[in-house]
Structure 1
């Protein structure tokens, strides 16, 4: 029994050496098995140097216990004391890997694999590992031999004899040797199959790149050919059997566990394709069908087993296709989309712990390096390494990446990969998640040399390196473009003009020469403006490249910067508020309308920077009307007043368009809005409110200029059509009716003359030529149409509707709503027309037939010649007109009995009809989806082209921009058109039943 004083001293020493459970450690040290070395001070120092001294001591006791007899135990302990290399290696492994400790417990003599410490032992290659596996003749013995070799790799790793790159290369060489051994076992088992075919095993992924993890799927592709004279039909089957058997030998679990899964899903057609193909079959697939990511994967292709001559022929045959992949349409977009998809598939609860796939993780570095290799490797063969760190070094040497940037990323990548290795080494399990348990983090931190406060230091270093990697697109892809044009790094290699143009083309810039000129103008010089723009541009270039028209985005940014560059708040806004810069990039590259509005009011950039989103929140009608009336009040005449009102309208149209674009595109922090109906309602309501406020301001200016404070007659403007329905688009006309009522004591003739003067002057002022989107007043829905007077008294309307009203006028009045002028008069007009639009007992059959006849006539006569009826948003199949007339027919027939149907808004009317059972929920959803989609397309066309249109653009880039707004990535325009046709076709089927009674 140890004395209390002695025990206390040992306890303290154990704590000082890093043991977390000194009491348990003290008991283990006092065990009989460790008696020969218990008093040796070197042992305690060696244990304290390990990642987990408690784990190392426990593993050592187990290892001594399982030795076969006293002699074997003394041999181990004597060697441990006498040989420092063995002591460091063995205890280092035991302190880092519970799984390898388990292996040593099952195979007690395997510790001798760690004794040798000769110079040639430091960096073994494939041949050395093949010798280590040579005696394996079945899956079980192969696993034992594999773990023995792995033991030596881990020992060199944890002792610092090899660095990260050397360790990863050794793991790849061990995997190569293992694949060869497994194939040899498969061939020995089926010699007849082996005699029929040549089979080459091509390593892909990290194994192919000579940078394997401790535990990782080994990705492979198989190439098979018949041997001379063999049956051409039997050979592929024989090769497939050999390949399958080889995969099972490596992948299946035995009493000795498994080695690693062999994954052949990177082959052509993935798991649906044949396991083994001939070389000509591979070539035909990659020439015709392969996607961009498949060429990216081939960067790391390397023959490792089987017929190496055939494997080399495979790599040489496909190399030209790999190095021309950057010429494919949407190349960069495809690669970036794949990266985003990887991140999106990470469970939300894990994303912050994802070392490999999360933002700032290993995959970010790998993707960026591969992207640059594919862009520049066609002309520069020095970039064609399959190893990430070697490729990064070559990119820096060639001037494609700044040297400091490359060094930082090399450092970050090594640290993150080392973390990944230590995490996997503990249990030899395939994982990329940083453990949450503090004891696990402590072991990882100590294994990386972080000893003062391992947990805190580990997390601090991890986050620091991840932050560097998160900026990789700026650092790797865009920053060198600025160095090229601004000559920022004298004495260092930089992108040549040709390389810069090549990179811009890969990013989707159609005019790289112009883009370089813009970059030079923005980034050159020593002014504060140039310095800040050099900081911003790398990020902005990435956002522009994510759009359908990067050239327009960059050009528009230059225009805005030229207009506002000397304004202190502008650059400060973009520099300090991340959302402002990204929002601006999205807006400037999304089409013509928003940038055109911004060029006429550059100060509206400030709206993009409100961090809480309030800057992009459309203003209410009351707020807008108050601002416009105040501006009109300050103006000295009607034209100046309308100019002031137009200024407010311009700014607010920009606000609405920017809100729409940002919500549709999404940002790095906020995904795109999923509820498309909510966006349609937002835009329709905002534009309608803005139009109403503008009319109110114009009316005030006309009355003030002609009559002072009081017009001789009360005057109201009634919104009709989409205006009254709060559904105006960016390019919609404003359908209206004008109504007046003479004031007491005023002759009707004088009142009428004043009212007509007001209407004429409002129309004149609003039609004064301007670069702003036009605001056209359309009064064709008035009684008698174009033949009738522009404005009537309330009594005149009442007389007309009582005697002459037609069913189409009742239908048009469903959308009537007061929008400006005398509210009391407007409300009385609405009371007047309510019985017409919601007729008691509904419509008679004759009226229903008339409405159907009018609709059919409109479809046949008003569709533009040559227009595709499946893609015309207004008059086409299942488009706006179909849905609106269906809802309006339900309102006319049932509005008198169902108050919920008495609304001017299409979607509200549709929901109300569904709520009272006039149509099924499924039919209502089908109509709503089609109406929302058609409205979104019309809005997109106006945003993209800067002018209204009812069909998809014919220009390819404009069509792609519409697709981007609707959520379709590069190369998916066809999907967009197919989805539109499918959605509207379903809606038309509902219309046929509900409207036409089919």
Structure 2
């Protein structure tokens, strides 16, 4: 044979370079077999393919008996590879789809289909193993090629059998609401590594079969149900791929991940699947569904299936129950590993592939419902996102990525040997030497040391995340909680239970026992499913143990139980608190300090996640940090998913308001800073809502236009009045806002669906208000009050700046000018904001002065008559901090009057919208005596601090007689200043 001698020399030169005699002898034996076989011509042709090919050939012989066997048995397969020139180059994404599609269309029988698919697999496997062993393809090119080949085989084989069955059984249809026939196709979900496009060399493929709607076949010899038809297709598909013939198999098909496993129907409709996962889906099935991908069956219904399954996998709330579930799954695997002696299993053993996957997937299941960036089938993408968001340190991320690559490369080296689905490290020295060579090491010892280091790195990260608490701590906690467990499980009579509460220093033992007994006997608890009951049985004793250390255990218990009752059907929140002892301690601390916080947590338990990080809980971020955080948060959500955007905004608001309240009740944040932060939160949210609404309106109507063409930025501002304008928001404050635009009302938008600019901005404002006020599962964002706009409720939702200016000068009442004192732009176009500020100052400086004081005093009297405790605001023994004489409104009216009176003469008076700085300006300009200013500032702060405290205690902002002592002096002096400043000459 021409050239064989030269090729023989080249091969032997490469053999001599091998590190051990055993490897050299092995390759020589295999090479001799090939030379004596009918494949030698094809092999010689291959070895003439360029520099380095002989070395690659020898490495492949070292690493894979399977490849050698294919070369010996299927010379036509090797010939096909040579002709296609695919052995040493990457393939386009659609290569296998085209190849298998053409192959399947060319066959005329099941037998031929089966044979040709198996030969195609041998061709694919030789190529993939050759490239993998020789480093011609990186890990994820290899896994992608394997996955794409599987996709193509499933898709085209399913189509072949579907068409073959139709003449006998007919074509499956369903009917729509109008009775029209809708053709049906079976869809195939790829699970596990196939779903993630990360199939390994000798992997099973995990599949689930589904079809959209029930119905019957038409136009066949017989009519059967759609489910029966697709069951036949599924059976044929499995048989074609899975059966072992003379040419081997295509893929081992595993259907055990389908609902009910082996005992369940082979194929289910979308409705059946949804019903199963909603009512019976288990945590391990959520785990499995993370990687699910519709790999065959048509894109038109694929997204519908994915959308239907997503809520089962990714909960809308932070879901810490998965830690317990995955821990149980890992414990089960560990027991199986120990039972079968599989400690050397690089997938299931300690520090193996499965632990890397668990680390990523536990965060996907916990946070994926709220962070769509984690809804990704790619393990590497998820790990990268965890590092970007700070969940994983840079070192941990690098360690996990390097370990995963090393472990998967090792897995491929093990499986390439004999095309076996194995992850067990070999025990015989020869196999060890072969694996070490493929992995690039001189010997097994060097390889083993590197492998051990990678596994240790993985195990360390895994232990931190998911391993159970150490036995000593568990035993200690158990002993503390044993007595409480007996109380909760009704193992004591009333007297014995009360005695336990008394012994544990509960301030009202009988009341505390009644609270627990009432909860235990409630319908919600009695009808809990087993898993929920078990979690509650763990949580309550732990709660009672922690409460015994609080200042007011019985009262605090009543507040915490409001939360417990609100999440009784979502006990994953209880798992969060049990998994994070720090969070439970903070919960008790905050509920002890404030019933308002307790109620907020019960209304929106999703923000319990904020209790985990104590450092951030008591240190609210500044406005820039808030903007950055919300921007990052919103980037995770598709722009067209308005519901998800609205829920994200509500979570952001509730979480940060909780932080402010926590910092205030614990003394970490003074009143003025608390109001600042509450105002910043509202401003940042308004900025984002304006941006969302603008993009949605532009998408629908195009951009508003002016004389020069399109306007690319919104010409809209949001003006905050009252507490928002005065930077004095409190907990639960509504937002007094007015919208102003600066667009030409005679122009139109430039979209396919045109509207005039006034209509555009009106609808934009309607969208803003909708986003802010719509009641979602987590509540609304804010109550919005727009009555301060020109003409009040009868006026336009959004006015032009010119119309606003005209109204203020020509038609506004004195009380509207008073309100304008507290107005400032809180969101929107900066250029328009500057114009508004100019208009505001001009209006305030030009208020008629002749009847000003009388108008202000008259308005104050009307307010007292309608809102104060008594008509004159002086009911004995009672003081409404805001509305009564000597209270907050008196101080506000004096500052507003001062701005209106002196604004023209002293422009500095027009600068600020908050009362404190207006008062300070009055003092600096000598418009009020320094002692009076200081008294008003001190009184104003004191009243607001007490008002905040009342709100956080869920009380009205009214002081009864026994609370008046500390504030009576302030009140009397404010009344005296009011009389001197406002009434003496009226």
TM-score normalized by structure 1? 0.45
TM-score normalised by structure 2 residue count: 0.45
